[in-house]
Structure 1
């Protein structure tokens, strides 16, 4: 049965091996060049103690690192999208046709009339192709995680939706889920094309909903409230305002994931506007225009009004727990879908 499954799957497997080899060469050639440039610039920064220092040489090296980041940015975005698309392609082209095509063409009747039971037939197919799917996603994820290491360090943000979903172990969970989703839909619908289309639609919906509705709430977040006064505004990084509200760019720990930063509110919890305190915002027209404001001056002026702003974030230490939790959730969902396949194929009449 394993030999038969391999014979049916070998064209897809060989295609993926060729693509993996080509991707590995591309990652290796561009990655080694980028890592070398990054290491050389970082070593020069260490000798100057900081790339954002005040000396002309330090500023020049900081600008060089920024140029390195910008030069690889288009490729960075494209490769992230590629790794995110790998589980979807696995679900579409490996999962949906795995059983759906057999039922659609009627070849399952030949298999089911042999000595091999339906359960064993399904188990071998799911195991062989499923392991290949997870291994493929793992290789692509490892290649991108290594390749993008310098850029991730320069960006200082591993939490962006595309970054988190394309790094480390999360793609493995997505690959297992997409594969079993496509297989289950092919089994239930008995048609390959509808199963492929629904698999793609569900996967896109998950990629849109998980970063905003599920991932931020898997672990308790940290919320910090800052009073608006001269002492606190000295820690703020910036300011923006509109006709309806205004924000200060509040500090968070290094590597943290900023989840929410509501506008400034008064002691009653109501959002306040710039025009309510126009004397404290010289040069501002209610739309965030004008010269950069003096935050210390604004803070001193607003101090007596008992205003505050909050920031909610996931600390950097939650990165790996969230990686494991999200991957685990989709592996459990994949197991549930596989169980549905076994239950359905047992009760199904020929």
Structure 2
């Protein structure tokens, strides 16, 4: 087509790779297109939750600065009503974040391949030039990317919010799921394992609804087992005293943020007696006589210091990621022959 004024051919701006916006292509585009509703829902919910955490953290820090923090300790604020509302905010948000592995396992992991197997899409893909391994790798890789980005952002945001009050047990005990499971690498590893487990369940059952139901049970069991073994990831520290057990300040002082596991009476021979020893004594004098007869000389207290939290999280996450890698390898082995 020529220019009507000059008679010269009209030219168009050259199109080069440098001026093009990056776009998804091939199998990656197809997988994103197929699951874009779930992926955008996850990313959108992440942004909303991030905004809420930033707002809550800003409000809390303003309150603490008004009180005189960090020059003044916040221990005296534990019983105040105003500080209590911030503690309640921690509890509500942490509850929501702890169910993320379950939700993503059920609504993202379970239908990922089960839907394709149920509707016959898997057979259609297998008939194309794309190999089964590439299709499976793209499905898992893109899903893992979205899950990882979401959980990393929320983990970092919650840790940033919790950090000023992490030594305050009234806000959240660091060994519980309200802090340990939603900070650091744990939420990423726990969610990836649950999601990949849901994918594997979907491949075996080949029915979306059945896979979602079974994945829900699987995710709940994972949470329960993880909670049961969580404390075993650390090295228990024992502190003893020899000042008796009835005098003032006889009980050992634990470090800030320490989680007490057990306490026992310590005898002169080094044996341990349950703290309920002599509890049936009718008077304080009778109790002291009973303890003296049992040769009780002090306390023995087992605890986990908060300084072990990061190491415990990485150790536990390594175990979960290893399990995730094992399930992924099994999926690829299964997918070479039985995926369609």
TM range (shorter): 0.7 to 0.9
1:73 aligns with 2:62: no
Where 2:183 maps in the other structure, the secondary structure is: coil
Q: Select the structure that is richer in helix.
A: 1
Deviations 1:232-262 (A, max 9, x none): 75232xxxxxxxxxxxxx532222222233x
- CA separation in 2, counterparts of 1:349 and 1:203? 23
Considering only CA atoms, is the larger Rg found in Structure 1 or Structure 2?
2
1:193 aligns with 2:209: yes
| Alignment match of 1:9 (pick from 35, 56, 59) | 35
- The answer as to whether partners of 1:259 and 1:313 remain within 8 angstroms in 2 is yes
- CA separation in 1, counterparts of 2:124 and 2:114? 15
Deviations 1:302-344 (A, max 9, x none): 3453125432222232111101111111111111111110011
Aligned to 1:229: 244
| Alignment match of 2:326 (pick from 327, 336, 346) | 336
- CA separation in 1, counterparts of 2:42 and 2:122? 26
Deviations 1:96-142 (A, max 9, x none): 00101111111110000111111111001100111111111111222
Aligned to 1:251: 253
Where 1:278 maps in the other structure, the secondary structure is: coil
Where do 1:155-174 residues align within 5 Å?
155=169, 157-174=173-190
5+ long unaligned stretches in structure 2: 1-26
- The answer as to whether partners of 2:241 and 2:250 remain within 8 angstroms in 1 is no
Aligned to 1:133: 147
1:83 aligns with 2:72: no
1:325 aligns with 2:320: no
Aligned to 1:302: 291
Change (3 A) 1:17 1:216: closer
Aligned to 1:290: none
5+ long unaligned stretches in structure 1: 53-61, 237-249, 283-297
| Alignment match of 1:220 (pick from 218, 235, 259) | 235
Change (3 A) 1:192 1:319: same
Aligned to 2:168: 154
Where 2:254 maps in the other structure, the secondary structure is: coil
Aligned to 1:26: 52
Where do 1:197-208 residues align within 5 Å?
197-208=213-224
1:101 aligns with 2:115: yes
TM-score of the superposed pair, with normalisation by structure 1: 0.78
Aligned residues: 308
TM-score of the superposed pair, with normalisation by structure 2: 0.80
Where 2:310 maps in the other structure, the secondary structure is: helix
